[in-house]
């Protein structure tokens, strides 16, 4: 006798004979003879009693077909078979529709989910086919039932769900010295240790590119200046050795001579050793510049992920005060300022200037000149962004200005905002660590569900009760994914688990990664705090102090619960101010369909990014900063502060410095500046002229705006999804 049934999604449920009867009855109603209740009961009873203890839905349906064919009602059997086929086609119809959208290279939120992925190329199409096929598999077989239900009902979003079955991790900060000093094996060949700056720059590219194919998130270098500095000196020594051959004398005294800075100078008035030394410096600076130029060019042209997408790369720098480290930074900034190809702005790597008092922020600091130059470069090229090492939550007790490896105790960030620093299971550092996975909660929908409660106090209490339930579920879901990830073998990540992840040196290729990955973080994200507050109070946090108080109470509660989950599950949980790209429109679209248009909540095509003041709200940069600053200390999984400034910022680096000053005063962790930049899509020409219609260089009318979508740049808004395009059009400038 049948006791339990295996459903198509793998779930096991109790047997219900009424479903067999209903299916047969439906088929009979579509025949001329109509119902035969006696036959329905007889076939149902026979299958129920003669069947196995546990059967699949398909096996039960096969049995119904056989019994109907044996009966005198062959007409019913035909209708039943036709109905099964129709249901099968209907189940596949959604997948077919999605696939045809990809085949026909339609511009929609599926093909434009990731603005830096070209889904129109063959490799891009293959990735989208794989992605859209994998997500239902994850829902059906890898998620617990209540998690699947929360996803289905738009309560949570599991990021990079298509990568879930691969057991891959999100991101990592590369300890590049392991690669540069020891070499590594990737693919079918090995790379020797670097000896000169050109090789070091190429190996940095290869490290980022190779690891990108092993992970689903971004790649970052936490101390680009420190890692490459030794190879400036070795390249200088090479130049001195070349001079030895030219002048035919020993120049060992020049090889290790003190050099305060690597600056190109005219040789005309120099003589003897001074002339030779400066010649070697000049040649070295030129080589470093070419190496940095090549690094940027490679990061914008070398494809990863099946030849479809450039590496989501980031580099952190700014605190190496050695002459060699300063040379790396200066030439990287020069190359960035000059642009790539026809002079266009480089999209990658995301460059991050690590601002630190006593190192580069104050006029008397050693690297202050480079900080000023970084602001000048940002004013033209959007990068670098600015990471505030002086923020109270970004400081490390082991940091010492005299420590040559102090970068290990400096926080580094990556991409839009991912932050990894605190660590319950090892050294507090960003180096050799990353995020394992993250999931975002739709706090707007939770608030909408509470709107009918008239008493504001009761409404808010209900909101917190619902939020707590969703936090519990999200924390458990992240642990379930962790338990799945940890079963991966080291050999599945040939570079990550041999050279990059902290503790990977203890692993053999046949070992699982369980013993080392708990140093990573699990992120609980949120978006739409502004809309959430409007639903609960009628106003967002940018326009109401009471709403701001509630906003801080909500995110503080989330932070506190994340700490509880860290103890309960023994992981590094943190709260993430989610960088929503495709998600910001997806959440809204589904909520609007369910609840209709709610002013200030679902009346736009997107939810506001994380805890930001809405992009359409007109206020000063200072007000925006004051509202958003308190959230940075709460969102240890990552955050960012944006300012939109008007017009051409190229000749106004002081505006950039003013934003950094605000970050310093308000204890903000990470920030950047957006401004106007036009790009001709035919020749690459760029300028900041407002409302540019024709390219002054080639006459083309194919003009686009260069803009950040979440935290990274996108070369063309043609690849932006509907929600983010709507947000872009709503953005207003902030007066400084």
What are the tens digits of pLDDT across the range 93-110?
A: 566 666 666 666 666 555
pLDDT digits (tens, 9 = 90+) for 419-461: 999 999 999 999 999 999 999 999 999 999 999 999 999 999 9
CA distances from 388 to 224, 283, 541, 674, 711 (A): 17, 34, 24, 18, 16
Phi-psi region of 382 (alpha: psi -120 to 50; beta: other; left: phi over 0): left
Using the structure block, give the residue that is written with the tokens 């070795």: 234
pLDDT digits (tens, 9 = 90+) for 59-74: 998 999 899 889 989 8
* Residue 305: predicted pLDDT: 65
* 298 within 8 A of 255, measured Cβ to Cβ: no
pLDDT digits (tens, 9 = 90+) for 2-34: 999 988 766 788 999 998 998 899 889 888 888
Query: Which of 522, 523, 547, 545 is closest to 533 using CA atoms?
Result: 547
pLDDT digits (tens, 9 = 90+) for 356-381: 999 999 999 999 999 999 999 999 99
Q: Please state, in angstroms and rounded to a whole number, the distance separating the CA atoms of residues 670 and 624.
A: 14
Query: pLDDT confidence of 91, banded at 50, 70, 90?
Result: low
Tell me how crowded residue 557 is: count the other CB atoms within 10 A of its CB. Answer: 16
* 295 within 8 A of 205, measured Cβ to Cβ: yes
pLDDT digits (tens, 9 = 90+) for 578-621: 987 678 788 999 999 999 999 999 999 999 999 999 999 999 99
Query: Which of 286, 266, 288 is closest to 197 using CA atoms?
Result: 288
Alpha carbons within 13 A on the beta-carbon side of 484: 21
List 645's β-bridge partners, or say none.
Answer: none
Query: Which of 120, 123, 127 is closest to 103 using CA atoms?
Result: 120
Q: Give the mean model confidence (pLDDT) for residues 458-467.
A: 98
Q: Does position 124 have pLDDT exceeding 70, yes or no? A: no
* Upstream peptide bond of 349 is cis (omega within 30 degrees of 0): yes
Average pLDDT taken over every residue of the chain: 90
Q: DSSP label at 364?
A: T
Query: Which of 381, 384, 382, 414 is closest to 674 using CA atoms?
Result: 382
* 588 within 8 A of 598, measured Cβ to Cβ: no
Residue 56 makes CB contacts below 8 A (sequence gap 6+) with: 5, 6
Q: Please state, in angstroms and rounded to a whole number, the distance separating the CA atoms of residues 312 and 19.
A: 50
Q: Please state, in angstroms and rounded to a whole number, the distance separating the CA atoms of residues 505 and 510.
A: 13
Q: Please state, in angstroms and rounded to a whole number, the distance separating the CA atoms of residues 120 and 402.
A: 52
**DSSP string covering 415-467:** TTTEE----SSS-S-STT--EEEEEEEEHHHHHHTTTT-SSHHHHHHHHHHHH
Query: Which of 493, 479, 320, 460 is closest to 401 using CA atoms?
Result: 320
* 20 within 8 A of 44, measured Cβ to Cβ: yes
* Residue 519: predicted pLDDT: 97
Question: Could you give the strand order of the β-sheet that contains 678-680, starting from the edge strand earlier in sequence?
Answer: 686-687, 678-680, 703-705
Residue 736 makes CB contacts below 8 A (sequence gap 6+) with: 620, 621, 622, 643, 645, 655, 658, 659
Tell me how crowded residue 207 is: count the other CB atoms within 10 A of its CB. Answer: 26
Q: Please state, in angstroms and rounded to a whole number, the distance separating the CA atoms of residues 558 and 470.
A: 10
Q: Please state, in angstroms and rounded to a whole number, the distance separating the CA atoms of residues 211 and 169.
A: 11
Length of the chain: 736
Query: Which of 312, 572, 279 is closest to 437 using CA atoms?
Result: 572
pLDDT digits (tens, 9 = 90+) for 244-277: 999 999 999 999 999 999 999 999 999 999 999 9
- Among 404-408, 437-441, 726-730, the least confident range: 726-730
For the chain, how far is it from start to end, CA to CA, in angstroms?
A: 76
* Upstream peptide bond of 146 is cis (omega within 30 degrees of 0): no
pLDDT digits (tens, 9 = 90+) for 512-553: 999 999 999 999 999 999 999 999 999 999 999 999 999 999
Q: Please state, in angstroms and rounded to a whole number, the distance separating the CA atoms of residues 196 and 266.
A: 24
Longest dimension (CA), the chain: 113
Query: pLDDT confidence of 111, banded at 50, 70, 90?
Result: very low
* 631 within 8 A of 576, measured Cβ to Cβ: no
SS3 277: helix
* Residue 542: predicted pLDDT: 98
* Residue 158: predicted pLDDT: 96
Q: Please state, in angstroms and rounded to a whole number, the distance separating the CA atoms of residues 378 and 650.
A: 8
Query: Which of 171, 126, 496 is closest to 307 using CA atoms?
Result: 126
Query: Which of 408, 331, 397 is closest to 176 using CA atoms?
Result: 408
* 387 within 8 A of 670, measured Cβ to Cβ: yes
**Does the pTM exceed 0.75?**
yes
**DSSP string covering 188-237:** TEEEPPP-SHHHHHHHHHHHHHHHHTT-SS-EEETTHHHHHHHHHHHHHH
Q: Give backbone dihedrals phi and psi of 241, rounded to 5 degrees, phi first.
A: -60, -35
The H or E element spanning position 182 is: helix 176-182
* Residue 630: predicted pLDDT: 98
* Residue 388: predicted pLDDT: 98
Question: Could you give the strand order of the β-sheet that contains 572-577, starting from the edge strand earlier in sequence?
Answer: 156-158, 435-442, 521-527, 572-577
């Amino acid at each position: 006798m049948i006791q339990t049934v295996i459903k198509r999604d793998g779930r096991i449920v109790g047997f219900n004979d009424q479903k067999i009867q209903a299916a047969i009855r439906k088929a009979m109603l579509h025949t001329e003879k109509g119902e035969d209740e006696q036959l329905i009961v007889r076939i149902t009873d026979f299958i129920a009693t003669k069947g196995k203890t546990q059967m699949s839905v398909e096996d039960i349906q096969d049995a119904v077909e056989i019994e109907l064919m044996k009966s005198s009602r062959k007409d019913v059997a035909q209708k039943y078979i036709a109905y099964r086929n129709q249901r099968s086609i209907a189940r596949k119809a959604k997948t077919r529709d999605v696939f045809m959208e990809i085949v026909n290279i339609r511009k929609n939120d599926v093909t434009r989910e990731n603005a830096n992925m070209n889904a129109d190329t063959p490799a891009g199409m293959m990735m989208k086919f794989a992605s859209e096929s994998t997500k239902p598999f994850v829902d059906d077989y890898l998620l617990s039932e209540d998690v699947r239900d929360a996803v289905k009902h738009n309560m949570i979003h599991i990021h990079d769900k298509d990568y879930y079955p691969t057991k891959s991790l999100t991101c990592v900060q590369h300890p590049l010295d392991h690669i540069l000093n020891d070499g590594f094996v990737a693919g079918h060949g090995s790379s020797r240790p670097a000896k000169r700056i050109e090789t070091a720059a190429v190996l940095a590219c290869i490290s980022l590119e190779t690891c990108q194919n092993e992970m689903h998130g971004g790649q970052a270098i936490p101390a680009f200046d420190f890692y490459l500095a030794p190879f400036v000196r070795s390249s200088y020594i090479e130049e001195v050795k070349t001079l030895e051959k030219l002048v035919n004398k020993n120049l060992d005294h020049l090889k290790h001579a003190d050099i305060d800075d690597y600056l190109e100078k005219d040789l005309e008035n120099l003589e003897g050793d001074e002339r030779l030394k400066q010649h070697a410096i000049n040649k070295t600076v030129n080589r470093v510049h070419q190496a940095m130029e090549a690094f940027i060019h490679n990061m914008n042209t070398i494809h990863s992920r099946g030849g479809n997408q450039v590496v989501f790369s980031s580099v952190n720098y700014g605190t190496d005060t050695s002459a060699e480290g300063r040379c790396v930074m200066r030439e990287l900034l020069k190359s960035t300022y000059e642009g790539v190809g026809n002079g266009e702005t480089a999209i990658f790597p995301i460059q991050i200037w690590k601002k630190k008092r006593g190192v580069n922020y104050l006029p008397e600091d050693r690297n202050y000149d480079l900080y000023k130059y970084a602001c000048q470069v940002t004013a033209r090229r959007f990068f670098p962004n600015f990471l505030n090492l002086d923020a109270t939550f970004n400081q490390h007790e082991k940091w010492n200005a005299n420590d040559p490896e102090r970068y290990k105790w400096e926080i580094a960030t990556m991409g839009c905002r991912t932050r990894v620093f605190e660590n319950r299971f090892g050294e507090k550092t960003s180096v050799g660590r990353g995020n394992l996975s993250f999931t975002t909660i739709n706090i707007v929908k939770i608030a909408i569900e509470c709107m009918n409660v008239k008493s504001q106090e009761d409404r808010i209490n209900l909101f917190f009760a619902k939020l707590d339930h969703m936090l519990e579920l999200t924390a458990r879901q992240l642990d379930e994914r962790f338990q799945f990830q940890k079963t991966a073998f080291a050999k599945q990540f040939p570079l990550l688990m041999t050279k990059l992840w902290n503790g990977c040196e203890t692993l053999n290729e046949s070992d699982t990664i369980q013993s080392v990955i708990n140093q990573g973080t699990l992120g609980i994200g949120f978006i739409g705090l502004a809309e959430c507050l409007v639903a609960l109070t009628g106003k967002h946090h940018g326009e109401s102090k009471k709403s701001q108080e509630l906003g801080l109470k909500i995110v503080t509660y989330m932070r506190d619960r994340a700490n509880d989950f860290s103890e309960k599950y023994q992981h590094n949980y943190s709260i993430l101010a989610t960088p929503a790209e495709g998600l910001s429109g997806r959440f809204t679209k589904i909520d609007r369909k369910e609840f209709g248009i709610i002013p200030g909540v679902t009346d736009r095509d997107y939810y506001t990014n994380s805890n930001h003041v809405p992009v359409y709200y007109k206020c000063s940069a200072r007000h925006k900063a004051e509202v958003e600053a308190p959230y940075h200390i709460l969102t240890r999984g990552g955050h960012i502060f944006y300012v939109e400034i008007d017009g051409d910022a190229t000749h106004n680096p002081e505006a950039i410095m003013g934003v950094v000053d605000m970050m310093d005063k308000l204890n903000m962790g990470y920030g950047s500046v957006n401004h106007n930049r036009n790009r001709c899509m035919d020749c690459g020409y760029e300028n900041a002229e407002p409302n540019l219609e024709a390219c002054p260089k080639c006459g083309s009318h194919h003009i686009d705006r260069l803009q950040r979508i979440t935290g990274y740049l996108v070369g063309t808004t043609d690849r932006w999804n509907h929600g983010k395009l709507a947000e872009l059009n709503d953005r207003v400038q902030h007066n400084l």
